Amino acid sequence: MTRRQKDPLRPLTDEERSVLAQISRAQSEPASHVARAKELLAVADGASYTAAAQAVGRRSGDAISELVCRFNREGLAAIEPQHGGGPPIVYEVAERQRILAEFERQPEREQDGTATWSLSTLQRVLRQAPDGLPGVSTYTIWCVLHDAGWTWQKDRTWCKTGTVTRKRKEGVVEVCDPEAEGKKT
């Protein structure tokens, strides 16, 4: 005899059921999304958590229980994976914007001690600023810049990914690769 479910799956709307069915059959969706959609559909069709888990190749129904609880709270967004462990994300959107704003500012030689930003000089300026980030690491700065499309070049400069300067008859022009976003991923 199975024990009573603490948080049973709420009734699915027609739209939710059709989206879950579409995701469960999709080959272009990530495998985790497909498995979660199949699990939710199995539970909605009356299967126990254990049976739903075994239907997609899992051993325990505990993960299904957590997924159902999350689906009841968030809806279809529960199919997306959450933060997968490790330390919590400390720098949110505002802090990332602060790092990018400081990076896009042209450094002053006397005040900042550099003509071009390196990770360590940018870290020093961000830590010393009154509205700065006192505990920011160079790795965090690198991740923020990399996510924004900047890469460190061999000539010790930063370059926006997909953008280059070319010499033409009319002078130096900036050329953008229209497929740069597709090539990043």
Q: Both ends of the chain: CA-CA distance in Å?
A: 48
pLDDT digit string (tens) for 116-169? 888 999 999 999 989 888 989 999 999 999 888 888 888 778 877 777 788 999
pLDDT of residue 157: 80
Task: Kindly indicate the confidence band of residue 185, based on its pLDDT and cuts at 50, 70 and 90.
Answer: low
pLDDT digit string (tens) for 10-38? 999 999 999 999 999 999 999 999 999 99
Residue 131: which residues within 8 A CB-CB, separation 6 or more? Answer: 98
Distance of alpha carbon 61 from alpha carbon 49, whole angstroms: 5
Greater pLDDT, 66 or 185: 66
Tell me what the mean pLDDT of segment 58-87 comes to.
88
Distance of alpha carbon 97 from alpha carbon 120, whole angstroms: 18
SS3 33: helix
pLDDT digit string (tens) for 74-129? 999 999 888 777 877 778 889 999 999 999 999 998 888 888 888 999 999 999 98
Task: Kindly indicate the confidence band of residue 41, based on its pLDDT and cuts at 50, 70 and 90.
Answer: very high
Backbone angles phi, psi at 93, to 5 degrees: -60, -45
Q: Can you spell out the DSSP letters for 108-137?
A: PHHHHS-SS--HHHHHHHHHHSTTS-TT--
pLDDT of residue 116: 87
Distance of alpha carbon 181 from alpha carbon 101, whole angstroms: 22
pLDDT of residue 4: 64
Distance of alpha carbon 180 from alpha carbon 164, whole angstroms: 11
Which amino acid is residue 23, in one-letter code?
Answer: I
